[in-house]
Amino acid sequence: MVEGKIKDATKILNLLRSMSDYKPHFEIIGNYRLIDDGVRPEATIMLRADDKEMHEADTGVGPVDALANVLKKSLKSLFPEIDEVKLIDFSSRIFDPGAGTAAGVEVEILFSNGKEGWRVKAFSENICKASFMALVDGFEYGIYIWREKKIEE
C-alpha cells in the first residue's frame, strides 16, 4: 500500500524544530507577496540561506503554483536537489463552514522526489498563507532528507 510509504513531514519537522541542534536550511525573510490578477498570478519572496539573501519573483497558473515556483527558483541555486521535488497533490479543508469566507483552512500538499513521498499540512484563515506555509515545509523536508542521505553516505 502506497499510503504507508508517505511520510508525515509536518510531524517530523515539528520534532526536529523542537531540538536545540536543528537549524533550518533556509529562512523566509518577512512574508510572501502575491499579485493575483486572475490570469497570471505573481509571487515574490525574500529568503536567507547560507548567509546569502535572495529576492525573487515568479509567476504561475494559479496563486499556489506561483508561490511554489518562486520558492523553487529561490532555493535551486543553493539546493540543486530541490529540482527533483515535485508537488503531487493539493487539497484543502474548511473548518467552521458557518464562518463563510472567514473560515479557517487546512491545506495538505503531497510531495515526491521520485524516490520518497511526504505530506505536509498547514492551517490559516487565509488559504494562500496556509498554502505558502505548507510549501515551505514541503521544500524544507525535501532538502532535509537529501542532506541526511548525503551525511549517511
Q: What is the pLDDT, as a whole number, of residue 152?
A: 60
Grid cell for residue 17: 524544530
CB 141, CB 13: distance < 8 Å: yes
Residue 68 sits at φ, ψ, to 5 deg, of -65, -45
Between residues 1 and 87, the one the model is more confident about: 87
- pLDDT confidence tier of residue 1, bands split at 50, 70 and 90: very low
1-22 burial code (b ≥16 CB/10 A, e <16): eeeeebbebbebbeebeeeeee
In angstroms, the Cα distances linking 110 to 5, 82, 135, 142 are 12, 15, 10, 11
pLDDT of residue 102: 78
Instruction: Give the 3-state DSSP-derived string for 79-117, with helices as H, strands as E and coil as C.
Output: CHHHHHCEEEEEEEEECCHHHHHHCCEEEEEEEECCCCE
- Per-residue pLDDT of 83-128, as tens digits, reads 999 999 999 998 887 777 778 899 999 999 999 999 999 999 999 9
Sheet with 6-8: list strands edge to edge: 6-8, 117-124, 105-112, 86-94
Model pTM greater than 0.85?
yes
CATH architecture classification, 2-152? 2-Layer Sandwich (3.30)
- Higher-pLDDT residue of 147 and 141 is 141
Q: What are the boundaries of each domain within the chain?
A: 2-152
